[in-house]
Structure 1
Amino acid sequence: MSTDPIPSEADLTALPHSSRYAAESISAECTSQALRVLLVGPSLSILGGQAIQAERLLRQLRHDRRVVADFLAVNPELPRALRWMQRIKYVRTIVTSLAYWKHLMTMVPRFDVLHVLSASYWSFLLAPAPALAAAKLFRKKAILNYRSGEAADHLGRSSAARWLIRRFDQIVVPSGYLMDVFARFGLAATVIPNIVDFEQTRFRQRAPLLPRFLSNRNLEPLYNVGCTLRAYRLIADAYPEARLDIVGNGRERQKLEDLARELNLPNVTFHGQMPPTRMGEFYDAADIFLNSSDIDNMPTSLLEAQACGLPIASTEAGGIPYIVKHEETGLLVARNEPRALAAAAMRYLREPEFAARVIEAGRVAAEKYRWENVCVGWIHEYRRVAGRQ
């Protein structure tokens, strides 16, 4: 299967930067009334949940006349003549950080509110921390949009992170799970959920369900895709015609491909990383979604699976029970239990009426993640922190 090129920072910021964008696209009267919001986060050259949500937010906000929105990548591309430096370990971090800081100094003064997407650990220090410093320097408001499922460990280990987070004007998280985690550290957070792009996720009625499975997670240790492979071995023993498509890439890809061969798994395809515009094809071709993460927050892939009509068999890691209700909108099992995961997946095949109820409940639950529902929360927070209520 051919792979479309992953969109770059240039694709994400297809419209010109803020000053030219405002001058060319919005009348002076509208610009004077609209809030200027700068999204700060990873570009799609680092394809993951943060980058996908940043792209969707930017695309939707640019159609909202209440907001003038632009994007600043925390991983900016260097000029062509200098890009070789970003291929060298350690040098890459230094030069990328310098370029990011430079863009902060030139772009932040033009905006009213910074919307800063955040992961944990070193990523937090390299990206949100400089954005906060720039906001304070230029007396701008800053919203921290923290998105990592590793929040409990991060906040527990780092007093510096807790101190910096308290300096933001508002904390927004995508799930009740993270809101509860932050509360344990005395940090109040507001929940605004992730966005599902319904233009790229088509619902399909599946009757009867076939043993066609999809895994769509990065191939990193915390997502434990190896558990999915071991569960699939048990499924394939019962359903020899079964098929498993694995979409994603990461440090564990070779290890997982080796495991698939060791387990002698039939009909397994590793497709590698796919841009969001291609994912609709994979959801449409599958009938059941498998997820076996050990650490998680609010995976967009599960929300998209519900929107497309795929019943979910997943571990109960982190925030997943906040978005998938066991035996109502999916089936949840303990972490790293391939037998339990396989049994949950096969229950859908053996109990079609139960599967149909779960699919319909999941489809209804996914509606809350439409942009027209999510945007109400973001516009409210932008206006509140900017004193425009």
Structure 2
Amino acid sequence: MKRLLYIGNNVNNKRSNVSTIQTLSALLQQEGYTVYLSSSSNSKVLRMMGMLFNFFQRFKTVDVILIDTYSTLNFNYAFIMSQLARIFRVPYIPSLNGGNLPHRLKRSPLMSKMIFSNAAVNITPSIYLLEAFKSHGYHNITYIPNTIVLDKYHYQFKAISTIQLLWVRSFSSIYNPQMAVSVLHALQQQGNQASLTMVGPDADGSLKEVKQLAEQLGVTVNFTGKLPKPQWHALAKQHNVFINTTHFDNMPVSVIEAMALGLPVVSTGVGGMPYLVKDGVDGLLVPDGDVKAMVAGILKLKEDPELAQNISAAARVKAEGFDWNVVREKWIKVLSS
């Protein structure tokens, strides 16, 4: 089996959720690959130094370098590491995880070309990014979706008598957590019994703003902080609607997980979401930031139990396509070429 150096955000602290590098590397190791991870430092400077150290320690002995690629600061990590791989003639594969990467392609065309044109292949977890990259002239790109281990997700549809909302994401401005609180407030103002649980770490200070908004609006929100997957999966049994409020998105694993667990999803229709959720079939999509539309979607599920159940069942079927037993063959094929 091949030896891989996997470069990405391998940070595990109270400000970060489980990342792609942590889940995918464990699955690849189960398949027999040797996987070296970098970097795990909380400091951005030390994280970059860790990546450089691991590159020079491993580049002569690994077969390929896998690089998680995002659209903001981590884009610079991907640029530096990909160019080092080019200089030392090590094949590298960017894994495209940033929902705002299409904007980065426009804003940084030269850096983008240097990274993506010279890659052995670019891996995208969404059709959204596949189409965006092809429209910019990149054809060395392969679609491999984000993955879950389906056996760990017990499907359970729950009738919506009282509205019990669940939100799972990092508290970050790009995920617009304030919208969830505004949705709860609007539901209660209309006389609905509704509750909201928000699960996730505080990534950029947004949690304080969200708590202030809840206090200002006079609503009670259950803030759990960061939870391990088994804990929030268990918590999901006490909820009946999953809301996703993000401004930008790609192929969020938390939404796939909610679909697997049986929670009907109401999401903003941004980025890759329309490629993941078919509106009215396996979820509901609303315009970015549109509180009234999200409230209307939630009430539609409550008032039409058959629709809610059909959406839940169709979403579970779609989630089955993301099971590791399905996705693993795609990774093995790419890594074997």
Q: Do the structures match in fold with TM over 0.5? A: yes
Match of 2:38 in 1: 73
Answer yes or no: is 1:283 the counterpart of 2:240: no
Match of 1:168 in 2: 119
1:97-108 equivalences under 5 Å are 97-108=48-59
CA distance in 2, matches of 1:211, 1:345: 8
Q: Retained in 2: the 8 A contact 1:53–1:195?
A: no
Q: Displacement, 1:240? A: 4.8
CA 1:344 to 1:240, structure 2 compared with 1: closer, same or farther past 3 Å? closer
Cross-structure match for 2:6 = 39
C-alpha change, 1:138 and 1:278, in structure 2 (3 Å) is farther
Q: Find the counterpart in structure 2 of residue 5 from structure 1.
A: none
Paired residues of 1:202 and 1:284 also in contact (CA < 8 A): no
Structure-2 change in CA distance of 1:291 and 1:139 (3 Å): same
Deviation at 1:369, TM superposition (A): 0.6
Q: Distance in 2 between matches of 1:97 and 1:149?
A: 22
Separation in structure 1 between the aligned mates of residue 288 and residue 151 of structure 2, nearest angstrom: 32
Q: Please name the residue that 1:93 is paired with.
A: 44
The letter for the 1-side match of 2:218 is N
1:208, distance to aligned residue in structure 2 (A): 5.0
Contact 2:160 2:301 in 1 (8 A): no
Check conservation: 1:289, 1:310, Cα contact below 8 A. Answer: yes
3-state SS of the aligned residue for 2:24? helix
- Is 1:123 the counterpart of 2:74 in the alignment? yes
The Cα of 1:257 is off from its aligned counterpart by: 0.5
Change in Cα spacing, 1:100 to 1:70, as seen in structure 2 (3 Å) is: same
1:18-37 aligned at under 5 Å gives the runs 34-37=1-4
AA aligned to 2:105 is: L
User: Which deviates the most, 243-252 or 137-146?
Assistant: 137-146
Q: Give the drift of 1:286.
A: 1.3
Identity of aligned residues (%): 25
Cα distance in 1 for residues equivalent to 2:45 and 2:258: 38
Name the counterpart of 1:59: 26
Deviation of the 1:133 alpha carbon = 3.2
Structure 2: gaps (5+ residues) = none
Q: Does 1:224 align with 2:176?
A: yes
Letter of the 1:42 counterpart: N
Alignment check: 8 A CA contact 1:245 1:269 kept: yes
Superposition TM-score, scaled by structure 1 size? 0.80
- Distance of 2:241 and 2:44 partners within structure 1: 39
Partner of 1:300: 253
Task: Measure how far apart 1:209 and its partner are.
Answer: 5.1
Alignment partners' CA distance in 2, 1:208 and 1:263:
24
Deviation, 1:238, is: 4.1
CA contact (8 A) 2:160 2:240 kept: no
- The aligned residue for residue 372 of structure 1 is 325
Supply the AA of the counterpart residue of 1:302: V
Match of residue 94, structure 2, among 133, 144, 149: 144
1:131–1:151 distance in 2 versus 1, CA, 3 Å: same
User: Could you list the runs of 5+ residues in structure 1 that have no partner in the other structure?
Assistant: 1-33, 78-85, 87-91, 385-389
When normalised by structure 2's length, the TM-score is 0.92
Q: Deviations over 1:14-41 (max 9, x none)?
A: xxxxxxxxxxxxxxxxxxxx22222221
1:124-176: CA deviation from partner (whole Å, max 9, x where unpaired): 112x2233234334432111101101112111111223322212111111000
Q: Per the alignment, do residues 283 and 116 of structure 1 end up closer, same or farther by CA in structure 2, a change over 3 Å counting?
A: same
Q: Which residue of 1 aligns with 2:290?
A: 337
Equivalent residue, structure 2, for 1:196: 148
**Preserved CA contact (<8 Å) 2:94 2:122:** yes
Candidates 152, 156, 169, aligned match of 2:106:
156
Conservation of the 8 A alpha-carbon contact between 2:147 and 2:323: yes
Greater Cα radius of gyration, structure 1 or 2: 1
Deviation at 1:197, TM superposition (A): 3.2
SS in 2 for 1:115: strand
Q: Which amino acid aligns with 1:255?
A: E
Separation in structure 2 between the aligned mates of residue 115 and residue 104 of structure 1, nearest angstrom: 11
Cα shift at 1:275: 2.8
Q: Which residue of 2 aligns with 1:315?
A: 268
Q: Between 306-315 and 98-107, report the one with greater CA deviation.
A: 98-107
Counterpart amino acid of 1:330?
G
**What is the RMSD computed on CA atoms of the aligned residues?**
1.9
Equivalent pair of 1:58/1:69 in contact (CA under 8 Å): no
> Paired residue for 1:255?
209
C-alpha change, 1:175 and 1:222, in structure 2 (3 Å) is same
1:239 positional shift? 5.2
- Residue pair 1:38, 1:113 contacting (<8 A) in 2 also: yes
